Structure 1
Amino acid sequence: MCRLLAYSGDPTFMDTLVCAPKNSLVRQSLHACEGKTATNGDGFGLAWYGDREEPGLFRDLRPAWSDENLKSLCAQVRSPLFLAHVRAATQTATTRANCHPFSCGRYAFMHNGQIGSYHRVRRKLEALLPDELFDQRAGTTDSELLFLLILARMEEGETPMAAVGTVLAQTKEYMVKAQIPEALRFAAILSDGQTIWAFRASCDGLTPRLYLRERPGATIIASEPLDNLRDAWTQVPDNSVITIRQGLAATTEPLVIGEGSWPLAA
Structure 2
Amino acid sequence: MCRWAAYRGDPLYLEELVSSPAHSLIEQSHCATRAKTATNGDGFGVAWYGDRPDPGRYRDILPAWSDCNLRSIARQIRSPLFLAHVRAATHGGTRRDNCHPFIHENWSFMHNGQIGDFARLRRPMETMLDDELFQARMGTTDSELIFLLALQFGLRSDPLGAMAETLAFVERLSKHLTGEVLVRFTTAFSDGKSLYAVRYASDARAPTLYAAPIGKGGGYCLVSEPLNDEADTWVEIPDGSAVIVSENGLETALFQPLEKAPGRGAAAFMEAAG
Distance in 2, matches of 1:165 and 1:51, equals: 31
Report the counterpart of residue 173 of structure 2 in structure 1: 174
Q: Look up the SS of the partner of 1:230 in the other structure.
A: coil
Q: Deviations over 1:21-52 (max 9, x none)?
A: 00000000000010110000000000000000
Single out whichever of 233-242 and 178-187 deviates more from structure 2: 178-187
Alignment partner of 1:222 is 2:202: no
Q: Which residue of 2 aligns with 1:244?
A: 245
Q: Do the aligned partners of 1:106 and 1:192 also contact (CA within 8 Å) in 2?
A: yes
Structure 1 counterpart of 2:267: none
Partners in 1 of 2:181 and 2:244 — Cα distance? 29
CA contact (8 A) 2:92 2:139 kept: no
The CA RMSD over aligned residues, in Å, is 1.4
Q: Which runs of 5+ in 2 are unaligned?
A: 262-274
| Contact 2:171–2:181 (Cα < 8 Å) also in 1 | no
Structure 1: how far apart are the matches of 2:208 and 2:94? 24
CA distance in 2, matches of 1:182, 1:41: 28
User: Match of 1:82?
Assistant: 82
Q: Which residue of 2 aligns with 1:186?
A: 185
CA-to-partner distance for each residue in 1:137-179, whole Å, 9 max, x for gaps? 0000000000000011116x75111101111011011111122
1:47-126 maps to which residues of 2 (within 5 A)?
47-126=47-126
Match of 2:203, SS state, is coil
Partner of 1:264: none
Q: What do residues 98-135 of structure 1 show as CA deviations (whole Å, max 9, x unaligned)? A: 00000000000000011111000000000000110111
> SS state of the match for residue 178, structure 2?
coil
CA distance in 2, matches of 1:200, 1:91: 20
SS in 2 for 1:231: coil
| Aligned 8 A contact 1:133 1:152 in 2 | yes
Question: Does structure 1 retain, via aligned residues, the 8 Å contact 2:181–2:202?
Answer: no
Q: Does the 8 A contact of 1:11 with 1:81 survive in 2? A: yes
Aligned residues: 259
Question: What is the distance in 2 between the residues matched to 1:180 and 1:29?
Answer: 35
Contact 1:117 1:180 in 2 (8 A): no
Q: Which amino acid counterpart does residue 230 of structure 2 have in structure 1?
A: L
Contact 1:42–1:61 (Cα < 8 Å) also in 2: yes
The Cα shift of 1:240 comes to 1.2
Counterpart of 1:209 in 2: which secondary structure? coil
Q: TM-score, normalised by structure 1?
A: 0.94
Residue 55 of structure 2 contacts residue 192 of structure 2 at CA under 8 Å; is this kept in 1?
yes
Q: Distance in 2 between matches of 1:72 and 1:10?
A: 21
The percent identity for this pair of structures is 47
Residue 258 (structure 1) aligned with residue 258 (structure 2): yes
Matched-pair contact (CA < 8 Å) for 2:23–2:226: yes
Runs (5+) with no aligned partner, structure 1: 262-266
